[in-house]
Amino acid sequence: MTSDSHDKPTPSRSPHFRIGTRGSDLALWQAHFTRIEIERQGGSAELVIISTQGDRIQNVSFDKMEGKGFFTKEIESALLEDRIDIAVHSHKDLETTSPPGLCIAAVPERGPVEDLLVMHPSARDVRTPCGVKRHAVIGTSSHRRRAQLAMLQSDLVVTPLRGNVPTRIQKLRTGNYDAIVLARAGIERLQIDLTGLHVHVLPVDQFVPAPAQGALAIQMREGDSRIPWIERILHHRETAERIERERSVLRQLEGGCMLPFGAHMMGDELRCFLETASGARLTVVREALLMRAEESTAQSLRQLGAVHEASCLLTRLPGSWPIFESLARACGVRLYHHSFIQTKPTHADCPVPPGRSDWLWLHSPEAVKSVGQLIQKFPGQVACVGMGTARSLERLEGFQPAWIGIGEPAKAHEDFAASIASSSGRVFIPHSNRTKGRWKTLGPSKRLFGWEAYTTELTRESLPAHDFAVITSPSQYEGYLGSNALNSQVVVLGTSSQTAVKDAGRHAVSVAQAPNEWEAWLALERLLNG
């Protein structure tokens, strides 16, 4: 029973709902739970299974995915397009603000919130903080879980883990890991058989869950006349109030699932966790329920990290790095945006007609912009060098890449070449006048077809004074040098950018550990903290 009231409404008409859901075991449990509650009150429902980007892209761990909405965007689109009436989500997967036209109609009563460390009995060691042997291999793709494991037991070896809950359990049983971290709610809802495994409950006061962990969200179109009916049978007011407070800090940060952040209401206290470049931090905001939301949120941010009086130039356009930008705002860093690269399409065509077994390789957002029409008509599959490039494809409605690289371009090239080694498909590479030849490592030359699809030119202009600069490519640094001679410190992404800065000998440098916005922020924070 999920409602605050024991008196369930009896509808004058029997409403029917199309319930949109992912096809994973846990998502189907959530959808069936909603269907059963609807039918118990005299309504009817059917399930509509929708594949999401997070389901399709399995070669990328969650922590490498820039952006948000990997498990929700397609379902929300179906709701907006009136292909479904209800979307059932794990609440923690949702962005902190609903897309225009949608709303959270109900939040059912919350399930268990704890994380579990599920381990082989051979890996158990009661003498350690986590109850698992020293140097154990732990599977999780959550930044938050990785950071908190390191805080509790620094010797653990944490490696990525993908797949639905039964798949993850099977990987543990077959010896791929000594232990894995799972949400207790998922285990209990699916009634997973853990016979032969040891389960260690990670206490929430030490291992802070994700905001809204264990809770569901029932999403509907704004203005749907059935919203009050759904609210009366499914909404649990106390749960909704508590997770709203947990998500208030996340909303301020504009973070998604890649952010190593946890928040949980315990009584009248809001307990928060955040990993920063200066270390992992826990904080407690007392009497949070008695405070205005904005006050408790601000207090949490002050306690989680220092507020800096500094300015930073970012060589990305506004909105392209939402997590970096929101963290900068939260920490008082004034941000200026400027790209020193201008691209112009050449309107040159593919050298030969592509086929259904072929690949289109995109190595930058600029390449996406220059060959947008080709992408829409390409008969084969599309691969992207990284998540930044993949995210630029969102502007092309309904289009999703089949493969996304991780880390440095050289590593992405190597991984992609390995992934297509057994296939006969060709690879088509639109490039610029400045990137000619960089794609030669994608595979045997007889399979590669490159053409100059756009030109890249550098711009130079006067810039406002700033303390730091984040440089995202060697070309951006070249343009930066030509535009100002200020004594700023710089953050660089990738070894090629690092080499360009060192060769110039003009700036102190902090190197991001991976070419994404979260690692760029950590590198900047290292400079901010001296």
Residues annotated catalytic, as ranges: 93
Place of tokens 């020293």: 134
CB-based contact 210:145 (threshold 8 Å): no
Place of tokens 């955040």: 274
HSE-CB at 464 with a 13 A cutoff on CA atoms is 11
Cα 198 from Cα 371, distance rounded (Å): 53
Contacts by 372-380 with C-beta closer than 8 Å and gap 24+? 372/396, 374/350, 374/430, 375/399, 378/354, 378/428, 379/354, 379/355, 380/354, 380/355, 380/356, 380/425
Q: In what order do the strands lie in the sheet with 509-512?
A: 333-337, 310-314, 468-471, 489-493, 509-512
Cα 73 from Cα 70, distance rounded (Å): 6
Cα 134 from Cα 128, distance rounded (Å): 7
| DSSP H stretches of helix in 138-236 | 143-152, 165-173, 184-190, 227-234
DSSP helix/strand/coil, 337: strand
CA 277 to chain centre: 19
CB-based contact 342:365 (threshold 8 Å): no
User: How many Å from the N-terminal Cα to the C-terminal Cα in the chain?
Assistant: 53
DSSP secondary structure string for all residues of 466-514? -SEEEE-SHHHHHHHHHH-----EEEEESHHHHHHHHHHT-S-EEEESS
Phi/psi at 266 (nearest 5 deg)? Answer: -125, 105
By CB atoms closer than 10 A (0-12, 13-18, 19+), residue 213 is buried
3-class secondary structure per residue, 291-303:
CCHHHHHHHHHHH
HSE-CB at 445 with a 13 A cutoff on CA atoms is 3
